[in-house]
Structure 1
């Protein structure tokens, strides 16, 4: 499995086409269901490159779309006051994970990514809703944040366990979407800092990440158009089944000859 910089320097048109198609699909999913861009992008890119390289491409599209999602909601300050321990946990977990997790075990990182995707898909298909008691939120919030940060550092995917936890807080629909935007935004910037310290997020990769923003935004607009014309629940099931299959493939890759 080659590094992303090698592909960019090789001026590979097939890879450029694959990146374009990946972020178009990832943006479309986010446009329809409101999340899933990093999951789809890192999962698909993980088929052809290491998770760290895939995560590097994700930075600009994820940051732009998540800030958009965050600022569109009505409750930024109340949510920040409530969730700041989780945000600190995300930053800490991501940076600590970057420092202590080995980076020379690409196969293990790919397997971990696959397992994270499988777990995410199973939760989604089962419609698992974890009710978080208010009495536990004070100490559970930073723990969940730190765990999310560690998963982010290892796989580039920052949905577990943040998404089930936020869904369990009893937020209304608009506040939940904005809370997800807050968590994803912090995770994206923490991941960017981690990859920069590692030397993975280089200028050539930054330019490619800016390029990936274009198909991601086109996909989001297309997804929003589709959302008005199909049942979101049907698309949601198709999405989670696809994530499940992709995650299983990545999980089993290290066992394949």
Structure 2
């Protein structure tokens, strides 16, 4: 079992990482997987980290998806993107299984660096003709492959979000729907490729506890803190973590 035979301090650090990821997800509607992978990249193998976080992602994404009244509109607007980004996760997971963990971490660090740099520089990148079925299918396929390989859900997903110009409630619900589909596809792909078994599912259920607690706490915190300030701090942290991960991966 992944969490067995760990030093007590390491075990509680892992639980803390998932708790912080849950809080971030509750406040921003995104960030659980990104935070967990970043904080645990030096403690747990990245493939095990991804396997552990899938079930908590399914749980939090479900609650996020049902919180709103925009599902029908969102589905109509983004159906081709969602279909292709979900299906093309499969070849990404196949490549994930074959590549070395250090190489995957480098890919993740590059994505985090690009994502954080774009946000902190206030760069807005929109997808031309984002309502086109062809454009959504191409962008969705690229997005799905990256998700399958790295479990980073936000690139180029964020470009479609910027193109749609949804309000806050609709944006959070869209992310909930998309992330639920992605995590379910990851779960079944991981089972089929034997990247998840019963020895992984039990620890994943264990770490779901701090994630869910953090998620609902984050939703409460969201009422009292500046989301813009939290986002800036979040992306600054990811920028620093991406540099550390890159240095560690190269060395």
Do they fold alike, i.e. is TM over 0.5? Answer: yes
Deviations 1:101-135 (A, max 9, x none): 56242111110111111122112222332333446
The alignment status of 1:249 with 2:237, answered yes or no, reads: no
C-alpha contact (below 8 Å) 2:129/2:135 kept by paired residues: no
Query: Which of 142, 163, 166 does residue 147 from structure 1 map onto?
Result: 142
**RMSD of aligned C-alpha atoms?**
1.9
C-alpha contact (below 8 Å) 1:93/1:150 kept by paired residues: yes
Instruction: Structure 1: state its 5+ residue gaps.
Output: none
The alignment status of 1:161 with 2:156, answered yes or no, reads: yes
**Which stretch has the larger CA shift, 170-179 or 33-42?**
170-179
Q: Sort the Cα spacing of 1:198 and 1:14 in 2 relative to 1 into closer, same or farther, 3 A.
A: farther
Within 5 Å, which residues of 2 pair with 1:79-90? 79-90=74-85
In structure 2, what is the equivalent of residue 171 of structure 1? 166
Work out the number of aligned pairs and report it. 251
- Structure-2 separation of matches of 1:32 and 1:142: 30
Shift of 1:200: 1.5
Shift of 1:182: 1.5
- Structure-2 separation of matches of 1:128 and 1:63: 30
In structure 2, what is the equivalent of residue 106 of structure 1? 101
Q: TM-score normalized by structure 2?
A: 0.91
In structure 1, what is the equivalent of residue 193 of structure 2? 198
Query: Which of 116, 125, 131 does residue 120 from structure 2 map onto?
Result: 125
SS in 1 for 2:132: helix
- Structure-2 separation of matches of 1:128 and 1:51: 29
The alignment status of 1:59 with 2:47, answered yes or no, reads: no
Query: Which of 12, 22, 33 does residue 28 from structure 2 map onto?
Result: 33
Q: TM-score normalized by structure 1?
A: 0.89
Instruction: Structure 2: state its 5+ residue gaps.
Output: none
- Structure-2 separation of matches of 1:170 and 1:133: 13
